[in-house]
Amino acid sequence: MQPRISILICTCGGQILEKIDLNVLHEKIKDLDHVTGIKTVDNLCKLETSDIRSYISDCDRVLFAGCSERSSLSFNEDRIHSLLEELGIDISMYEVANLREQCAWAHSDKNGATGKAIDMVRMAHAKLKLNTPAVKPPEIVKKALVIGGGPAGIQTAMEAGNSGIDVTLVEKNHYLGGHACQIPFLFQCEGWPSMCTSECIVPVQARNVIFNPNVTVLTNSLVQDIKKENGNFKVTIQKRAEFVNPERCVSCNKCSDICPEEVEREFDCNISKRKAIDKDFYLAIPDTYNIIEEACTKCGECLNVCPTDAIDLDAKVEIIEDTFGAIALATGFDSFDLSRLQELNYGENVISSLEMERLIARGFRDAPEHVVFQLCTGSRIEEGEEGVSYCSKTCCGVAVKQIERLTSMSPETEVSVVYNNDIRTYERALEQFYNDSKDLVDFINGRIMNVERNNGKLNITVESPDGDEEDIEADILVLSEAQIPAASDMIEKLGLRTDIYNYPLEGQPRILKPTESYIDRIYVAGAAGGPKIVQESIEQGITAAMRIVQALKGKKPQKFVSTVDSELCSACKICEKVCPHGAIQVDEEAVVDSAFCQGCGLCVSACPTHALQLTNFQDRQVLEQVEVAFGNLSEDEPRILALLCYWCSYAAGDLAGYNRLQLPENLRTIRIRCSSSINSGLIMEIFRRGVDGILIAGCPPKNCHHVSGNYMTAKRVRLMNMLMSQIGLSPSRLKWEYIGVPMWKTLGKSIKDMDKALRKLGRIKVRG
């Protein structure tokens, strides 16, 4: 069927009418192909759907000529999508000619603005003719997987379960709660300098999820494999041998009493012992005993005393396969390996912060005379040192909290704190702990350079910032160790993009997308995404759960999705590597999973065989716009085409208009996807079709919505500039700019500079 296009022109309360002669515009576009009607209206954004319906009868596509679909505060693309759904029109079947921000507001000459407006409508029309229906994504399974059973994971599973989502919670330990169980006293909140005991908080949280009918809890389990399949995640889970049946165990302790084998208690940082069959700690949930397989001799003594026949020494590993529509990564944190800092002599009486928590929980047999804390151990390092360069955020607060507990338990103990130039007890409550400790503690600005043991004492050498050394004798040295990412293997299995420290990146803009990764429906909660206190982890768990609930309602049809021409695909896997959203898998040929594709176009521009194209943003559509872009411009005027990215630089162009920055009338803009959706061949073809200067602008550094598309484009343009020099085409005709939303002045200057340069160079002489 031939397309049927209706054009709606909005006067925007007269703002467009002041600068653009709409009668001339109407006359010049009335004979465009497949147009069934043209209607000029006032304040389109204020009209009811029923009124708009009466203006666009007998059509299946709509061209809106008015304000920017990117920056309008009342008629942006989300509003347009909702309107089209109400009208029963496919959401792909519209385009916008941005006559307000990038025409009427950007030019003072009415004749020039009118001519440009005619071209802009023709450009939108040329693209709209070739649009295809939105791609309907596959059905999303309404089940969620939560990996990690610490505070963030528990809260995510519980909140999603309470919302009616079927959730599977996988935890590698035999118990829920993670490191929070090992910390006897937890900060209450940022505004209240007090503490709750983990023996109260964790069981309450864990019970709530254990007894949630929509949550299946798999402890002592590992996620072995994750594959994307038809829009969902196919997951293989290994549930390690369950020698004690939780449905039968009543935690009577008879098995542990009789067990002859002892091992170090990992939960207690190996400072105490447990039996080979026991609980990790007495309040562990699930309330079930477990067997340390490596320590068990299978003597059978426990079988003889178990009153409920709960023990099976021949239990086997179970493999569970299931499919989920969403995943939350809540694997918590690991501690930096302190043994790497040889000068600190980590070992006897030189302990980690977590080990200090367990000492506080158990109490000291003999009160130590002097305890020294070193902050920033393995964090905030300088070049060449062992550790991480970032601040682990919670360490200083944890140290002053431990000092408060230590001085309460043992008032006679002397306490010193060695800190690295400053103390970072962020937030009100933690700062209060610090202030309360100042009268009790000797704070020393410096670094520990050496630790030696001598007759049960520690000789600690501290160097000040000036290079002076001081020797301190102590009983215990507590090293406030850096936090580092846990479960790097799981991050790799999920295919998550990470920062330089291997923490998963949140989607851009991160301010608006807390817990969201760059892969659709994978969320990162709690310390898995960076150091956090327990309350922050729980807050993120709630956020992730609500994101999951919304995501599992299913995806709407998508206007922009990459597609593969199998006859052209060479299975080179370049597209798989550059895709920032994990949407492409290559076996014999590339396959794009539309449920994960975010239509950035990075794969399209990277494909060496042009096997990939983006629906509703094909090279052909760009070139069709170029063909009609300058029809109302004098032949002597240089043609400038600005290719502005969907997110940042196009909005900067809108802000230039909003601020009434006057731009050359020989400028035309196309809102592209990511800046890296434009390939080198397309650039050269645009030049061949008479464009004299091309400006490509994308997101600022570290702000690309598709991770690294802006960097890829910057490199591509540099290579193109070299090529252009070799073929006699001035490199100044192709320009790249990092342009953020507020950088409208920079964008305007770049356009004006290009216009000035092109007037000196003259028009390109195109050969047939």
Read off the CATH number of the domain in which 584 is found. 3.30.70.20
159 located within any domain:
no
- Kindly tell me if the per-residue pLDDT of 768 is higher than 60: no
- Kindly tell me if the per-residue pLDDT of 524 is higher than 80: yes
333-368 pLDDT per residue, tens: 999 999 999 999 999 999 999 999 999 999 888 899
Same domain for 702 and 581 = no
Residue with tokens 């009789």: 258
710-723 average pLDDT score: 96
Same domain for 649 and 569 = no
- Kindly tell me if the per-residue pLDDT of 766 is higher than 80: no
Same domain for 49 and 106 = yes
Q: Using CA of residue 319, residue 320, residue 321, residue 327, what is the dihedral sign?
A: negative
Q: Which tokens hold the place of 339?
A: 């043994």
Q: What pLDDT sits at residue 191?
A: 83
Confidence of residue 1 (pLDDT cuts 50, 70, 90): confident
Into how many domains does the chain fold?
4
- Rounded Cα distance between 183 and 188, Å, is 13
Same domain for 720 and 659 = yes
**Residue 738's closest CA among 693, 706, 701, 695?**
701
Q: What's the pTM value of the predicted model, to 2 decimals? A: 0.94
273 located within any domain:
no
Q: What pLDDT sits at residue 440?
A: 87
Same domain for 644 and 580 = no
Residue 739 sits in a domain of what CATH number?
3.40.50
707 located within any domain:
yes
**Which strands form 215-218's sheet, in the order they lie side by side?**
215-218, 166-170, 143-147, 326-329, 522-524
Distance of CA 615 to the CA centre of its chain: 25
Same domain for 627 and 606 = no
182 located within any domain:
no
Indicate the residue among 474, 489, 518 that finishes a domain: 474
Evaluate whether 537 touches 568 at the Cβ level (below 8 Å).
no
Indicate the residue among 457, 474, 491 that finishes a domain: 474
Q: Which residues contact 63 (CB under 8 A, 6 or more apart)?
A: 5, 6, 7, 8, 94, 95, 96, 97, 121, 124, 125, 128
Confidence of residue 604 (pLDDT cuts 50, 70, 90): very high
Q: What pLDDT sits at residue 765?
A: 85
Q: Which tokens hold the place of 628?
A: 């009609």
Confidence of residue 767 (pLDDT cuts 50, 70, 90): low
Provide the domain limits for residue 607: 562-613
| In the chain, % of residues over pLDDT 70 | 100
Amino acid at 671: R
Same domain for 113 and 11 = yes
Residue 469 sits in a domain of what CATH number?
3.50.50.60
Q: Using CA of residue 99, residue 100, residue 106, residue 108, what is the dihedral sign?
A: positive
Helices (H), 558-700: 574-578, 602-606, 619-628, 649-658, 680-688
Same domain for 628 and 731 = yes
Q: What pLDDT sits at residue 101?
A: 97
Same domain for 659 and 586 = no
Query: How many CA atoms lie less than 13 Å away from 661 in the CB half-sphere?
Result: 20
575-581 average pLDDT score: 96
- Kindly tell me if the per-residue pLDDT of 244 is higher than 70: yes
- Rounded Cα distance between 122 and 471, Å, is 80
690 located within any domain:
yes
Same domain for 608 and 635 = no
47 located within any domain:
yes
Helices (H), 61-197: 77-87, 110-129, 151-162
Same domain for 80 and 43 = yes
643-693 pLDDT per residue, tens: 999 999 999 999 999 999 999 999 999 999 999 999 999 999 999 999 999
116-137 pLDDT per residue, tens: 999 999 999 999 999 999 999 9
Average pLDDT of the chain, as a whole number? 95
276 located within any domain:
no
Query: How many CA atoms lie less than 13 Å away from 766 in the CB half-sphere?
Result: 12
425-464 pLDDT per residue, tens: 988 889 999 999 988 899 999 999 999 999 999 999 999 9
403 located within any domain:
yes
Indicate the residue among 459, 474, 489 that finishes a domain: 474
Confidence of residue 190 (pLDDT cuts 50, 70, 90): confident
Evaluate whether 241 touches 317 at the Cβ level (below 8 Å).
yes
257-262 average pLDDT score: 97
- Rounded Cα distance between 109 and 187, Å, is 64
Q: Which residues contact 57 (CB under 8 A, 6 or more apart)?
A: 6, 37
Same domain for 363 and 418 = yes
